[in-house]
């Protein structure tokens, strides 16, 4: 069995998150020595090592040389890429789906790399607006295409389980580059292709 580098179980008993989690448990009124919580600090350290492993990766590493010569210039759309991230304001999860499109010029990218790019930026303390921009900038930097479009729709638990407590709300963000920004027909083609997958549509 090969080891998946994305499966980060590296933070262990030596992680600074372990004593910090014990302190946090005490601060919220729990007893970190009770049976159900004895191993919680180590589990939290491992979980956060995975949830924030985007800090330890680079764009060149996740693209891994999967850039190939383009044989055409038709729009490429990768839809319904799941993402999970942590809100930098409340450190609560937000999650959803991303849609990425580009119009090749000279190069194309292996399809699985779009999911890895989204993971690269979402597995950090984030805001959805920034992830959307970072993904668009990354695709543009890798391929120099004629255009890039990124649309992300997310559900934010900082809105659903606290604050305004609106469980059915969602947030949509987009970033358009090149032809997707300058040509309304190109942008409309992309939006039409992903419209049926948007939440509640």
Catalytic residue among 99, 128, 134, 153: 128
The active-site residue out of 30, 42, 140, 158 is 158
Question: Can you say whether residue 165 is alpha, beta or left, with left for phi > 0 and alpha for psi between -120 and 50 degrees?
Answer: left
The verdict on whether 90 is a catalytic residue reads yes
What does the alpha-carbon distance between residue 77 and residue 82 come to, in Å, rounded to a whole number?
Answer: 15
Say whether 167 is catalytic. no
Q: Are 146 and 178 in contact (CB under 8 A)?
A: yes
Catalytic residue among 23, 82, 88, 129: 88
Query: Of the listed 90, 107, 140, 189, which one is catalytic?
Result: 90
Q: Is 89 a catalytic residue?
A: yes
Catalytic residue among 57, 87, 126, 134: 87
Characterize the bridge pairing of strands 125-126 and 107-109. Answer: unpaired
Identify whether 156 is a catalytic site residue.
Answer: yes
Q: Report yes or no: 78 and 59 within 8 Å, Cβ to Cβ.
A: no
Task: Please confirm, yes or no, whether 99 is among the known catalytic residues.
Answer: no
Active site residues: 87-90, 128, 156, 158
């Amino acid at each position: 069995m090969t080891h998946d580098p994305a499966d980060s179980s590296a933070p262990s008993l030596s992680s600074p998150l372990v004593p910090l989690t014990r302190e946090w448990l005490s601060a919220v009124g729990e007893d970190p020595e009770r049976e159900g919580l004895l191993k919680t600090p180590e589990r939290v350290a491992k979980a956060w090592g995975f949830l924030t492993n985007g800090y330890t990766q680079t764009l060149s590493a996740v693209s891994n040389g999967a850039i190939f010569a383009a044989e055409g210039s038709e729009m490429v759309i990768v839809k319904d890429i799941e993402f999970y991230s942590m809100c930098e304001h409340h450190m609560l999860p937000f999650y959803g789906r991303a849609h990425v499109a580009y119009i090749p010029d000279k190069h194309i990218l292996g399809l699985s790399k779009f999911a890895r790019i989204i993971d690269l930026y979402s597995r950090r303390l984030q805001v959805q607006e920034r992830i959307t921009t970072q993904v668009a900038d990354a695709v543009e930097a890798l391929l120099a295409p004629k255009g890039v479009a990124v649309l992300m729709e997310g559900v934010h638990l900082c809105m659903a389980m606290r604050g305004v407590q609106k469980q059915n709300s969602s947030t949509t963000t987009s970033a358009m580059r090149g032809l997707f920004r300058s040509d309304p027909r190109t942008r409309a083609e992309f939006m039409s292709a992903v419209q049926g997958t948007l939440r509640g549509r």
